[in-house]
Amino acid sequence: MHDMNEDVEKKLITEEELDRAVTDIAARIDADYDDSGRKLLLLGILKGSVVFMGDLMKKIRRPVEIDFMKVSSYTGTLTRGRVDILLDLRRGDLHNLDIIVVEDIVDSGNTLSYLVNYLKLKGANSVRCATMLDKPSRRKVPFTPDYVGIEIPDYFVVGYGLDYDEKYRTLPYVGVLKPEIYSTR
């Protein structure tokens, strides 16, 4: 059996650190959204957000609904400037909805600045963003997420939902791969 851990050069964030960061974000969300009468929707962006989404939803005490969208992003380690919606949010009651877009990582900022704008134009009452990881040094468009788990330097990371070439999403921690893994594909 191939052990994915052997492809990791260094662990950047441990499971315990991730867990603490999620607990913190959940508490902030509970404090920020009081009983407005509106629905709160956690909107996960497939596929990278699924691990964070699963952990986060269990720690939020107030009632929330969940949904998912899928957008195009990376091919390999190169970012593209445009955003395609591959799976849209199909519901009619957006004016009665406070949305928190749940992402794995904010990098260039392209995906989230586009999506937040898109959801506001569709009529959502409010749109915020929660991301597990943030790489602010990589921004190409101005974007500031409302809830950030952990800020990281400019590394290409995997694990906790994040992939390289669709692999390593299931690692329970966040790590950097050995250079030969990135270059031999």
Residues found in the chain: 185
- CA–CA distances in Å: residue 9 to residues 73, 155, 178: 25, 12, 5
The H helix count followed by the E strand count for the chain is 4, 9
**74, burial (CB in 10 Å: exposed 0-12, middle 13-18, buried 19+):** middle
Shortest gap between Cβ of 35 and ligand IMP (angstroms)?
Answer: 32
- Say which entry of ligand IMP, Mg ion, none residue 134 contacts (CB below 5 to 8 A, set by partner kind): none
Q: Which of 44, 48, 109, 149 binds Mg ion (CB under 5 A)?
A: 48
Helix, strand and coil in the chain, % to nearest 5: 30, 30, 40
| Chain positions contacting ligand IMP, by CB under 6 A | 48, 73-74, 79, 103-111, 156-157, 162
Shortest gap between Cβ of 174 and ligand IMP (angstroms)?
Answer: 9
Q: How far apart are CA 9 and CA 14, in angstroms?
A: 14
Using the minimum distance from each CB to Mg ion, give the nearer residue, 44 or 48.
Answer: 48
Shortest gap between Cβ of 58 and Mg ion (angstroms)?
Answer: 21
Catalytic residue among 34, 107, 163, 165: 107
Q: At what angle do helices 50-59 and 15-32 cross, to 10 degrees?
A: 60
Per rule CB under 5 A, is residue 145 in the interface with Mg ion? Answer: no
Q: How far apart are CA 146 and CA 23, in angstroms?
A: 15
Using the minimum distance from each CB to Mg ion, give the nearer residue, 53 or 127.
Answer: 53
Q: How far apart are CA 97 and CA 43, in angstroms?
A: 11
* Active site (annotated) includes residue 104: no
- Say which entry of Mg ion, ligand IMP, none residue 79 contacts (CB below 5 to 8 A, set by partner kind): ligand IMP
Using the minimum distance from each CB to Mg ion, give the nearer residue, 33 or 182.
Answer: 182
Using the minimum distance from each CB to ligand IMP, give the nearer residue, 94 or 112.
Answer: 112
Neighbours of 115 (CB within 10 A): 22
Shortest gap between Cβ of 144 and ligand IMP (angstroms)?
Answer: 12
| From 30-38, 45-53, 91-99, 137-145, span contacting Mg ion (CB under 5 A) | 45-53
Interface residues with Mg ion (CB under 5 A) are: 48, 73
Q: Which are the catalytic amino acids?
A: 107
